[in-house]
Amino acid sequence: MLIKINGDHVDIPEGSTIKDAIKLSNAPYSEGSIVCLIKGESEIQSNILKYKIKTPKGSILIELEVSEKSKPLTDFFKENYSQFISNNVRWETSNEVAIGPVSSNFEPSHDEFAYFDNEVLISLSGFSNDATHIIFVKDDHSNVYGVPKYSDRGVFARVIGGRKTLFSLTDDEILSIEPIIERSTVKDSTGGSNLDEVLEEGNQLFTYVLFEPNFNSPKSVEHLFSLIRNDKIEVSFESNSFVGFYELTGLTKDKEEITERKRGTVTLRNDGKGKGRVYIYREDRVRAETHTNLATVKQGMELFDIAKKGDLITVRSSPDIIMLMMMTQKEAEEKLQSLGINHIRTGNEDDDAIIVTQEPENTVNILENKEVSTFGLSSDELLKVKFTDKAPRTRWYLEKITGLAEKPVGTLKVYFAVPDMNMFMFHGNTDESKGLIPENTPSDIMKAGEIGVTNMSKKNLGLIGIRTVDTDDFGPTGEPFSATNVVGEVVGNIEGLNKLKDGSTLYIYQVYEDDK
């Protein structure tokens, strides 16, 4: 049987499930993500109300009427709009523009009716249904158009955009007529992560979203990439007009390109309340100076239409992120060669050295410069950490100041290193540490490798420390347990701390529970 997967026709055996179809088609999909299933093309077409009519002079947008009297006319248009493509403007006056003709089964009326600007009607020219035209009303007037009987003056739509284009048309060709997909067009779709549902002939399945980054907003694009982990993005909020991603609230980039927020536009809140949040628009919204345009959804918008808070969505980007951190120098070189990008090794240049920084940092700048420099370290110089969910404010603080909120590798500046005392402390950030209430404080013991942060009960607020032996007297920042928030633990290369000196830089990377 024939179905569509992500817009492509695929022939699959009868009785196949969503899981079977994904496997057979090799469609992009990450475990745990939602999918969108539309039962058939008619389900979409029945809900479409807006169409874009393209001409050499520009486009005209129309919106169909929703009423019992207009239904036979809107049904005719939905079934036959493609027949008007490649026709020229048949005539134009100060009151009207006509395109056609096509054939219909309507019976004409001989009555005169009043018409008003922006109305769109069906006319049977010469009272012949073989000369069925679409008339765009440019100005208020009355006329006998031979409109279909029993309709409301033949009116089936209104012009909602492109009025300037309408007034410029003469004998121009109709280049295309395209239905405009909105959230309402997939309102009856099914979504979720149940992959055992059996598919039927004509079903449409969407498994992933494809982003196209905005090259005019290189820093903001990287913010979007920072939200994606294991090829998935998690919905924080949803409303009629947008889907929100709030994980990086508080982090922002300088204002970059500002545009209108069309359906499918991805923006970053660059200032004010909620800065750092990313929005994907289900409906058109006006331009806002606080929203940087960072990408466009090129495929899979249907998934954002049905998504709810907490849903995971499989995503891809074209071009994709160029993130070399945590690769070896050799792996990075091979990847960059395949992209035609020059690679400069710095630091430890050995093939197996781990990359901890890259310059430029931004994917867009790398693609434009066609060159990137990578700084490597021996793998035993890189500290492996795991953070706990029991101290959310402290975790967010540490992820922000180290850079781990946005990159695979973060840094800590050594404040005080005393290997003989098995004690290592790192600079915090005075501004960011405000509001670090006591959370997840130890009771009887601070274990070796646990990461402690001084909370707001002491003046050294935000200071970070690690001890390499168990202790039952004070935390790794020299404060009592009540002033120490345990934010995580070192889970690899803890012996590397002994090489640190005051003022040196420690590179760290984070592992997660669901990392494979």
- Tell me phi and psi for residue 329, to 5 degrees: -60, -40
Q: Which whole-number Å values give the CA distances from 328 to 60, 69, 331, 332, 369, in the listed order? A: 53, 68, 5, 6, 22
Element (H, E) at 304: helix 301-306
Alpha helices (H) in 1-104, listed in sequence order: 18-25, 41-45, 71-80
pLDDT above 60: residue 188: no
pLDDT above 60: residue 187: no
pLDDT above 80: residue 349: yes
In this predicted structure, what is the pLDDT of residue 49? 87
Instruction: Note the pLDDT tens digit of each residue in 36-88.
Output: 988 765 556 667 889 999 999 999 999 999 888 899 999 999 999 999 999 99
Instruction: Note the pLDDT tens digit of each residue in 424-435.
Output: 999 999 899 988
In this predicted structure, what is the pLDDT of residue 425? 95
Average pLDDT rounded to a whole number, residues 330-358: 97
In this predicted structure, what is the pLDDT of residue 240? 87
The length of the chain, given as a count of residues: 516
pLDDT above 80: residue 189: no
CATH number at 49-180: 2.40.100.10
Average pLDDT rounded to a whole number, residues 94-118: 95
CATH number at 208-317: 2.40.100.10
CA proximity to 281, closest of 251, 301, 257: 301
Class level of CATH domain 383-510: mainly beta
State both tokens at 465. Answer: 């420390």
Among 173-182, 442-451, 489-498, the range scoring the smallest mean pLDDT is: 173-182
**Structural domain boundaries in the chain:** 2-42+192-205, 49-180, 208-317, 327-377, 383-510
In this predicted structure, what is the pLDDT of residue 215? 96
Instruction: Note the pLDDT tens digit of each residue in 129-169.
Output: 999 999 999 999 999 999 999 889 999 999 999 999 999 99
Question: Do 507 and 467 contact (CB within 8 A), yes or no?
Answer: no
Distance CA 181, CA 80 (A): 18
Instruction: Note the pLDDT tens digit of each residue in 240-254.
Output: 899 999 999 998 889
Average pLDDT rounded to a whole number, residues 478-490: 95
CATH topology agreement for domains 208-317 and 383-510: yes
**What is the distance, to the nearest Å, from the Cα of residue 185 to the centroid of all Cα atoms in its chain?**
20
Angle in degrees, CA 11, 17, 21, rounded to 5: 40
Instruction: Note the pLDDT tens digit of each residue in 395-449.
Output: 999 999 999 999 999 999 999 898 888 899 999 998 999 889 999 999 889 999 9
